[in-house]
A and B are shown apart, each in its own frame.
Chain A
Amino acid sequence: MYAFEYQRAGSVAEAASLLAKNPEAKLLAGGQTFIPTLKARLAQPSHVVDIGRLKELAGIEVKGNVVSIGAMTRHAEVAASADVKKAIPALADLAIEIGDQQVRNRGTLGGSVANNDPAADYPSAVLALGATIVTNQREIASGDFFQGMFSTALQDGEIIVRIVFPMPKRAAYSKFHHPASGYAMAGVFVADTANGVRVAVTGAGSSGVFLWKAAEAALTKTFAAASLDGIAVDEGECIADLHAGADYRAHLVGVMAKRAIKKITG
């Protein structure tokens, strides 16, 4: 790891000011991606600003028809939350599938979403549920937030404060784990929402998480796994790497989508 100055911010405002002072500074949340990245010398920040323990960024709140989750809420807390299990059980189901026990005890919602790894789980829920990303500067709709692999609408110095998830009528997540890393080879979040059926795919798209429009249209007509027969994502848009070819990933997306729908329809 290259040397850097560690700074623990006492508030979001202080973190923002530390970022503003040092253009090469980076935020540290749970560190489950960032610390391995530093160890591999894939990043060389001058300062690391730790926001992992900020109380103003943690916690889960259900109000009316929305679930608001603080950016530094750990995956394990979301997975175990009685409120989340009741309001959006699919979100708790997704959280328990992230990484492993140790990773879930450290990794955070905000860190995962800000990093926008193409194989991360949370971006699919954020996109499918039409969540709003609340930062220290503004509110960003999920449709505008994800801008391709590891790329988001976040500006320099912008910090995710919380993510607000509207409760769907019904939803489910199904994931094919990479057997070693636990990342999604394909993960599909299906949500029947006030704004229609939404199907978000992670792990497979070469531009990161995306909405599978053809599946949404088919499910809007008839909400059943069989509605996806004969429909497939374009394998030209899928990731091909040493773990799986694009055709295999495209196929997995269909299988995971059907499994998610069956979780809902029984």
Chain B
Amino acid sequence: MNKIEFTINGKKVATQVEGRTLLVNLIRDELKLTGTHVGCDTSQCGCCTIHLDGKSVKSCAMLAAQADGANIVTIEGMADGDKLHPVQQAFTECHGLQCGFCTPGMIMTAASILKDHPQPTEEQIVKGLEGNLCRCTGYINIIKSVHRAAELMKA
């Protein structure tokens, strides 16, 4: 077992993990933060995207032990109390989801896109979302949502 400590959504966590425990499994099964989804489990779909030290990564393609010392934010850490994060607000307004399964990952990746490109072009959004798949193929409204989030964040 490996002793690890990290911060997740502002809270410090100290625990022990097997070497082979994936970060996504620790987040979902032990910490019960089930907003981070497992879609494909083959690191294609991006449903498990979280922020690790401020950067989007796929938590199904990382060992929990690799997160020792990290600062993690999951979808549960995006809203400020009852106030949605602007990206969440935009997805709500623009109906940027159909079944909703891919949405947590889309929102986490979209937030990273907006960090790099506060006023993104359509091309930058599409390129930025290439690691996130929506099986409902609801991409049009997802892209609209990212544009809307940029407006909300500017305001």
Residues of A whose CB lies within 8 Å of any CB of B are: 1-6, 8, 28, 31-32, 35-36, 38-40, 48, 50, 52, 76, 99-103, 105-106, 180-182
Top 4 A-B pairs, shortest CB-CB distance: A100-B131, A6-B19, A1-B20, A105-B55
Report whether A102 and B44 are in contact in the complex, using a CB–CB cutoff of 8 Å. no
Residues in A with CB closer than 8 Å to B46 are 100, 102
Q: Which residues from chain B contact A48 at a C-beta distance below 8 Å?
A: 19, 63
How far apart sit A6 and B41, CA to CA, in the bound complex (Å)? 21
B42, B46, B56 interface centre (most CB from chain A within 10 Å): B56
Whether the pair B18, A101 counts as a contact (CB closer than 8 A) is no
Which of B43, B44, B55 meets A180, CB within 8 Å?
Answer: B44
List residues of chain A with CB within 8 A of the CB of B19. Answer: 3-6, 48
Known: A2-B20, A100-B46, A101-B130. 7 other contacts (CB 8 A): A6-B20, A28-B66, A35-B22, A39-B22, A50-B63, A101-B131, A102-B109
If over half of A's interface residues share one DSSP class (helix, strand or loop), that class is named, otherwise mixed; here it is: mixed
Chain B, interface SS category: mixed
Residues in A neighbouring B56, C-beta threshold 8 A? 101-102, 105
> If A32-B43, A39-B41, A103-B131 touch, does A50 touch B65 (CB 8 Å cutoff)?
yes
| Cα distance, A35 to B128, chains bound together (Å) | 23
B1-32 contacts to A (CB < 8 Å)? 2, 18-20, 22
- B63 contacts which of A6, A100, A103 (Cβ < 8 Å)? A6
Cα distance, A48 to B22, chains bound together (Å): 14
How many residues in B have their beta carbons less than 8 Å from beta carbons of A?
A: 29
**Residues of chain A within 8 A of B52, CB atoms compared:** 105
Residues of B within 8 A of A102 (CB): 46, 49, 56-58, 61, 109, 131
Residues of A within 8 A of B66 (CB): 28, 31, 50, 52
Query: Which chain A residue shows the least CB distance to B50?
Result: A102
A36 to B63, CA, bound (A): 11
User: When A101-B56, A102-B49, A105-B56 are in contact, do A3 and B63 touch as well, CB less than 8 Å?
Assistant: no
